[in-house]
């Protein structure tokens, strides 16, 4: 019996630990939502910054994808906003920096901004740089499937006759509010999938353990 327990533990415990470790890594990416938007639209984007280390995140910088014009941002208490612009006044990159302790381990912060999408269909890659309190930087600039992928928004051809040519930023925010909420729900579901899989694996391992006891 003791030998059997040791053998089961060797399989069961590492499997559970590895699955939960995977789920933490999978949900720790810096992301920009929504994942799909229309050409020419004034989109309300949400930048989600989770903490993947045991120290606080104090700053995050995002490069504006080619053709995407960042127009405005929503102030966040405890954070400052700065933008690096080119000669024509267009935002090349923007930064949110904490004035206090920042985003603590086990937490995440969302930053909302409005941008005008390009008129042509494109893949908008959001290169992000996450700064930690110890001076380390995680560069979310890799392709999908890499260890540190950037978030991508698929800008698809609009089917609406209204291309927001005369829309103000305020009107755009109201128009896109429902769509952004749906995108956030989809992202939350995606983030929770690894945890669900981990729980299922743990349950199956437990069932196998019970069956092993019955055979004895």
Residue 33 has pLDDT above 80, yes or no: yes
Domain of residue 67, CATH code: 2.60.40.2230
Looking at residue 144, the DSSP 8-state letter turns out to be T
| Same domain assignment for residues 117 and 210 | no
Number of domains, the chain:
2
Residues with Cβ within 8 Å of residue 161, at least 6 apart in sequence:
none
| Same domain assignment for residues 133 and 205 | no
Q: Give the per-residue pLDDT at 158.
A: 82
Give the mean model confidence (pLDDT) for residues 57-67.
98
Q: Which residues of 65-96 are buried (b: 16+ CB within 10 A; e: fewer)?
A: beebebeebeeeeebeeeeeeeeeeebebbbb
> Are 83 and 147 in contact, with CB atoms under 8 Å apart?
no
| Same domain assignment for residues 6 and 47 | no
* 117 φ/ψ angles, rounded to the nearest 5 degrees: -75, 155
| Same domain assignment for residues 167 and 71 | yes
Name the token pair of 25: 């890594």
| Same domain assignment for residues 17 and 36 | no
| Same domain assignment for residues 57 and 158 | yes
Give the mean model confidence (pLDDT) for residues 68-83.
98
| Same domain assignment for residues 7 and 77 | no
| Same domain assignment for residues 202 and 160 | no
The pTM for the full model equals 0.67
| Same domain assignment for residues 10 and 90 | no
CA 166 – CA 172 distance, rounded (Å):
10
Residue 178 has pLDDT above 80, yes or no: no
Q: Give the per-residue pLDDT at 169.
A: 46
Residues with Cβ within 8 Å of residue 162, at least 6 apart in sequence:
none
Name the token pair of 170: 């305020």
| Same domain assignment for residues 103 and 141 | yes
Residue 55 has pLDDT above 50, yes or no: yes
Count CB-CB contacts under 10 A for residue 20. Answer: 16
43: containing domain: 29-190
| Same domain assignment for residues 164 and 74 | yes
**Which residue would you say has higher pLDDT here, 203 or 192?**
203
For the residues of 98-109, what is the DSSP string, one character each? ESSS-BPTT-EE
> Are 117 and 44 in contact, with CB atoms under 8 Å apart?
no
Q: Give the per-residue pLDDT at 8.
A: 44
Residues with Cβ within 8 Å of residue 67, at least 6 apart in sequence:
117, 118, 120, 122, 124, 155
| Same domain assignment for residues 208 and 121 | no
> Are 163 and 44 in contact, with CB atoms under 8 Å apart?
no
> Are 29 and 187 in contact, with CB atoms under 8 Å apart?
no
């Amino acid at each position: 019996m003791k030998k059997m327990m040791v053998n089961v533990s060797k399989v069961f415990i590492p499997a559970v630990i590895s699955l939960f470790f995977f789920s933490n890594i999978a949900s720790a990416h810096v992301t920009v939502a929504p994942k799909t938007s229309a050409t020419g639209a004034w989109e309300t984007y949400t930048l989600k910054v989770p903490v993947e280390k045991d120290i606080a995140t104090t700053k995050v910088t995002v490069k504006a994808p080619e053709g995407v014009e960042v127009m405005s941002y929503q102030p966040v208490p405890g954070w400052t906003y700065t933008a690096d612009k080119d000669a024509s006044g267009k935002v090349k990159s923007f930064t949110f920096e904490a004035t206090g302790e920042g985003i603590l381990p086990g937490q995440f912060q969302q930053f909302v901004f409005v941008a005008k999408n390009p008129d042509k269909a494109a893949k908008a890659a959001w290169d992000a740089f996450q700064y930690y309190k110890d001076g380390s930087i995680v560069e979310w600039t890799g392709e999908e499937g890499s260890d540190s992928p950037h978030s991508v928004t698929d800008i698809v051809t609009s089917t609406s006759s209204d291309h927001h040519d005369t829309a103000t930023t305020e009107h755009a925010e109201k128009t896109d509010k429902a769509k952004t909420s749906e995108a956030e729900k989809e992202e939350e579901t995606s983030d929770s999938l690894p945890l669900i899989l981990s729980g299922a694996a743990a349950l199956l391992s437990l069932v196998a353990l019970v069956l092993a006891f019955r055979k004895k």
